[in-house]
Chain A
Amino acid sequence: MSDDHNAHHVRYGVIFIALCIFTSISVACDYIPRENKILIAFAVLAVATAKALCVMMFFMHLKFEGNWKFVLLAPTIILAMGIPLALMPDIAAHYYTVDIPQAEHAEIAHGDFNSSGSPAVEADR
């Protein structure tokens, strides 16, 4: 059993309160008008990353572990990033002409490709 946590005194209560504050900030971001999608995404993901670091560093004790943590986690993070990066050009970025029924419906209904809230599409017969 590792006794490192005896040598490194962590104030878990403070970390817990910090996590609660971060969660409240996340929920507050829900009240930002939906048009500012990039701002909302950036803010909540930054908060999520901060929370994740608190949990990993203190609750999971990684701050006090040896360098083996990098050897173990670095390849997994790289491989984990692989799927979204590999799929990004074809599915997310659309560098080629898109031919999907939903896009046609969006154009017919709203005259443009971007619509949020999914209102009912009118002409599709």
Chain B
Amino acid sequence: MAIQRRIKRIHAIEVTLVWLALIAILTVALMFLNFSPAYVAEHWQFVVTGVWTTIALCLISIAIATILALLGALGRMSANPIANGISGFYISIIRGTPLLIQIYLIYLGLPQIGSQFRALGYDQLADLFTLTAFQSGVLALSLNYGAYMTEIFRAGLQSISYGQREAAIALGMNRWQTMRRVILPQGVRIIIPDIGNQFIAMQKDTAQVSVMGIWELTFRANRMARQDSKFMEMLLLAALTYWILTIVTSWMQSRLERRMAHAYER
């Protein structure tokens, strides 16, 4: 046992050394390529501040996407043709079109409908269709990820054995009670790691909402870079920030998973 642990530790040290070597090589290469660390040191704050916007976008969007995915999954599993039809249609449309188009449609397309309503005198309805860039970003990401996560939720809920449902039915529970008390609590445990993966993937997809001028990481990096033609410096800085964000979130996710596994472990 002790020897095995030592071999494992030595292996981990070796892998870390390789990573450090790779980073060192890349850094040296960048120095030769006219990369200016001084510029990064001067302007990093302007870019990295955007991480809060990125995180806010993600947190709100993943929360809404989770609700959409749950509704979508219930719809997909439903025998009701209306519920089934709506959720199938939603998933098909979202998965069949690029996120970037969805973003444009929501940010640029919806106000067009809004102005039509305004012309007809429905001002409040018009306001509803005219979203800020941030709102548009949240809506696009929520709709997009909600559709992809629907399948995850459906698979998770359907993985609960049929015996669980039968036990609930035999006790006299109706379908909704069975879902809420028996299927969902078990399904969520299975789904949570996948929600974590989606959350991590979404962090990178938020870069796409920079096209609307939301002041998140990518937009700030791009803006500063254009001003001084320092693309390598600013974009690499943004990339590094995303990377660190991903590492931190993955670590938090694995901790959460371990804690959840404890809930009814031997």
Q: Does A associate with B in a complex?
A: no
Interface residues of chain B, those whose CB is within 8 Å of chain A, are none
Interface residues of chain A, those whose CB is within 8 Å of chain B, are none
